[in-house]
Structure 1
Amino acid sequence: MKHLTFADKTMFVDDETADCVTEYAALLGTEHLADTVTVTVMGPDGNQSEATLLLNSATNLIAETTNFDARMADNTEAVAYMRKRIGELRNPPSPAFDERPHLVDLDEDDIA
């Protein structure tokens, strides 16, 4: 479990989610992009809720280890989404020649 500070809010999330949010936020910042991610968090009062985090180059985020141990809801979908986006940003697919709309496939008959 990690203590996540986002803007002026503090919350607890599982280690995998905290690490993934931090990695994704850093990558979005370096790429000058933004995204939102909704994760299940636990507040300091012990109540679980969903938090939608806006991640961009201005994101202020701290993830700290803690010895607090509680059962957290599953963030599998959010983590899978962030890992997929991290992979796409780090290894963008090469566009196929046919997918370039500004290029035209000319036949020999078209060239005069």
Structure 2
Amino acid sequence: MKLVTYSDKSVLLGDEAADYLVRFAAFIADKGRAEAISLNVIASDGELIVTSFVLGAGISLMAESTLSPLPEPENGEGVEYMNEKMEMLTAPSRAVSASEPWPADDGLGDVL
């Protein structure tokens, strides 16, 4: 379990989710992007709550280890989302060759 500090609030988050959150925050900032992610956390009063983190350049985020005996909140979906998003933004975009036809409808109509 890790104590995650964001702005002036601290919450408890499972080790894997906290590690991914810090890695994801650094990744998003490096890409010059912003992203919001909601995760299950344990508040300072011990209540299980959902917290939304806005990540991007200039956002202060820290995770530190704790000796908390509380069970880690479930965040499999959040970890999976962060992992998939990093993979998607890392993968090279697919180039379209000149011989491939344009898509039938690009949603722009006759604007261009």
TM-score bracket, shorter-length normalisation: 0.7 to 0.9
1:58 CA drift (Å): 1.6
The unaligned stretches of length 5 or more in structure 1 are: 102-112
**1:68-106 deviation line (CA, Å, top 9, x unaligned):** 1211331011100000011112223323334878xxxxx
Greater displacement, 29-38 / 86-95: 86-95
The unaligned stretches of length 5 or more in structure 2 are: 104-112
Q: 1:100 to 1:72 in 2, by over 3 A?
A: farther
Higher helix fraction: Structure 1 or Structure 2? 1
CA distance in structure 1 between the aligned counterparts of 2:41 and 2:96, rounded to whole angstroms: 41
Q: 1:55 to 1:99 in 2, by over 3 A?
A: farther
Q: What amino acid is the match of 1:65?
A: S
Q: Secondary structure at the match of 1:82?
A: helix
CA distance in structure 2 between the aligned counterparts of 1:33 and 1:99, rounded to whole angstroms: 31
Q: Does the Cα contact within 8 Å between 2:6 and 2:62 map onto a contact in 1? A: yes
Q: What amino acid is the match of 1:38?
A: S
Q: Secondary structure at the match of 2:83?
A: helix
| Pairs aligned (count) | 101
Alignment of 1:38-53 (within 5 A): 38-53=38-53
Residue number in structure 2 paired with 1:81:
81
Identity among equivalent pairs (%): 28
Displaced runs of 4 or more, over 3 A = 98-101
Correspondence 1:37 to 2:27: no
Alignment of 1:1-112 (within 5 A): 1-97=1-97, 98=100
Greater displacement, 82-91 / 28-37: 82-91
CA distance in structure 2 between the aligned counterparts of 1:15 and 1:95, rounded to whole angstroms: 38
CA distance in structure 1 between the aligned counterparts of 2:37 and 2:47, rounded to whole angstroms: 19
CA distance in structure 2 between the aligned counterparts of 1:27 and 1:73, rounded to whole angstroms: 24
- Larger radius of gyration, structure 1 or 2? 1
